[in-house]
Structure 1
Amino acid sequence: MGVTTYTHEVATSVAAPRMFKALFVDSHNLLPKVIPQTIKSIEIVQGDGGDGCIKKTNYLEDGTLKYGKHKFEVVDIDNLVCKYSLIQGDVMIDKVEIVYYEAKFEVSGNGGCVCKTTCKFHTKGDYALKEEEIKEGVDKAMELFKVVEQYLLANPSVYA
């Protein structure tokens, strides 16, 4: 098994607690609402949404992905840190064993924040992830981030 680590930072003018709540605490309610063209539903299949919970994302049937399950090991609302892993699904199922994520939100000077993410891809066998495979996943995550950001900017009372 090989491990490929990728780090990424993105800034937004949305306050850190609002972005954190939208992306991690209440994602099961918000994401299907703001990106219905991609996500059919997100259900909590274990736990209450906090530490140890498992959320299953169901994608629209006309896409290449059908589902993905994420286990949230740490959902630290006070420190704005989330540690979770992709434990099951059809995302690169033939190449990746598990993916570990850590997202940290830091307050920035303009009232917004910076989201720092680290991803560790544990591949099957001796498979080495290609740069374009990682870029494709990052691009999809950034699309989701930008949609949530635009929604929160347009709705300043949500998660305030």
Structure 2
Amino acid sequence: MGVFTYEQEITSSVPPAKMFKAAVLDADNLIPKVRPQAIKCVEVIQGDGGPGTIKKIHFGEGHKFKSMTHRIDAIDKEKFSLCYTVIDGDVLTDGVESICHELTVVPAPGGGSIYKNTSKYHTKGAEVCEEHVKGGKEDALATFKAIEAYVLAHPDAY
């Protein structure tokens, strides 16, 4: 088994606490509103939102994938961090056993924030397709920017 890691950072003018609430804590509700083509809905299969919670994400019409299931491994609302693992679904292409994501939202100069994501693809000896990673990065960026636009347009929402 191998591990392929990539990192992504996205800057925002939104302060960390607001961005974490919108992009992480309320993501299940907000993303289907601001990017329905990315995520149609999120179904909680087990848990209360804390560690051990299992969610099934149904992607929007025309999306490359149909669904994925992930498990929340850790969440720290004070440090604005979340760790979750994709454990099932068609996003786990041939040779990929699971994908672990470690997200943090940290302060940026000027009062904004930096959204940091480290993704670790656990493989069964196969290499990860670069197009798969590139598509995931582009989708994450578009979703983050849609959330940011929503928060900026609705300053009292979070």
Name the TM tier (shorter chain): over 0.9
Contact 2:92 2:98 (C-alpha < 8 Å) held by counterparts: no
Please tell me the residue identity of whatever aligns with 1:89. G
SS at structure 1 position matched to 2:40? strand
Matched with 2:100 is 100
- 4+ aligned runs moved over 6 Å, structure 1: none
CA distances 1:50-94 after superposition (whole Å, capped 9, x unpaired):
222112111235433111111111111111011111111111432
CA distances 1:82-128 after superposition (whole Å, capped 9, x unpaired):
1111111111432311001111111122111111211110112x211
- Pairwise CA distance, 1:17: 1.2
Alpha-carbon distance in structure 2 between the residues aligned to 1:79 and 1:96: 30
Matched with 2:144 is 145
Change (3 A) 1:52 1:127: same
Please, which runs of 5 or more residues in structure 2 have no aligned partner? none
Please tell me the residue identity of whatever aligns with 1:148. I
CA distances 1:9-36 after superposition (whole Å, capped 9, x unpaired):
1110011111111222111111111112
When normalised by structure 1's length, the TM-score is: 0.91
Alpha-carbon distance in structure 1 between the residues aligned to 2:62 and 2:136: 19
Give the superposed CA RMSD. Answer: 1.4
Alpha-carbon distance in structure 2 between the residues aligned to 1:130 and 1:65: 15
SS at structure 1 position matched to 2:110? coil
Matched with 2:135 is 136
Q: How does 1:8-157 map to 2 (within 5 A)?
A: 8-124=8-124, 126-157=125-156
Identical amino acids, percent of aligned pairs:
42
Please tell me the residue identity of whatever aligns with 2:154. N
Please tell me the residue identity of whatever aligns with 2:144. F
Equivalent pairs counted in the alignment come to 158
Please, which runs of 5 or more residues in structure 1 have no aligned partner? none
Alpha-carbon distance in structure 1 between the residues aligned to 2:52 and 2:18: 22
When normalised by structure 2's length, the TM-score is: 0.92
Alpha-carbon distance in structure 1 between the residues aligned to 2:18 and 2:41: 21
Contact 1:25 1:75 (C-alpha < 8 Å) held by counterparts: no
